[in-house]
Amino acid sequence: MKAAALARGLTVHTPTRLKPFADDVRALDAAAFAVVSYGRIVPQALLDVVPLAINVHPSLLPLYRGATPLQSAIRDGRTRTGVTIIAMDAGMDTGDVLLQETTPLGPTETYGELHDRLAQRGAALAVDALALAAVGALPHRTQAELAHELGIGVEEIARTATRPLTKDDLVVDWAAPPQRIVDLVRSLAPQPSARATIEGETLKILAARVANVDEAEGTTTADDGAVHGGVVLLRVVPPNRAAMTGGAWRRSAVRR
């Protein structure tokens, strides 16, 4: 983004501290600013210097507030998601909803694919929001009002709140149902990727699917995936090696 802005002759600020940056923003006399994929809370002192501050959040707020809404929605097996434009306040994704767009979440869609798709829609919705604001036609709804309208309870809002991923979040729990494991793999692909130790090797798992009844009895499937715990490992990364099919890894493990 910085390179694109500089190529267009725009001034770029790269503040390391946000409260002092408020003076720079005030000097710009800006009508609005947008926050996208920014991992820090924007202080009220900065929000107060512009008439409108918007945030592009890739979930159907008030569900999936926080740092990892895309990964969390996929991990939870959701079948729909979306993008929300909110008016920023000092909370974590708690501001008024300005625009919201819903989209299906495909059964095999990965984090990387969903990220890129919603990035495009989020950019378009941000432009729409700013255009509506310019003519005084930007709608506002509190998240409490929206939750009541959609029948979303406070328990579900709290349960879907997200946080940054830790190493423990990457580890496959083989006691979980196979579909839950597959959804975890999708939610972490292509990066940082799910991890599992199988036959003495810690693998990154890039793609998987639920095994059918016949496959669950064997060790290698027709599509060259390795079966483990009711899951077909379609693509893996063994230690110090390139990505390969699960079947290729299984055969190499047998040879060793």
93: number of Cβ within 10 Å: 21
CA 167 to CA 207: how far, in whole Å? 19
Residue position matching structure tokens 């190499």: 252
Q: Identify the band that residue 18 occupies on the pLDDT scale cut at 50, 70 and 90.
A: confident
Residue position matching structure tokens 């501290």: 17
Residue position matching structure tokens 């946000």: 18
Same domain, 176 and 107: no
* pLDDT tens-digit map of 76-119: 999 999 999 999 998 899 999 999 999 999 999 999 999 999 99
54-78: average pLDDT: 97
Q: Which residues contact 137 (CB under 8 A, 6 or more apart)?
A: none
Give the model's pLDDT for residue 19: 85
Same domain, 60 and 108: yes
CA 92 to CA 185: how far, in whole Å? 27
pTM: 0.93
3-state secondary structure of 177: coil
Domain final residue, candidates 159, 186, 208 = 159
Q: Write the CATH number for 211.
A: 3.10.25.10
* pLDDT tens-digit map of 216-234: 666 666 668 899 999 999 9
Question: What is the domain range of residue 53?
Answer: 2-159
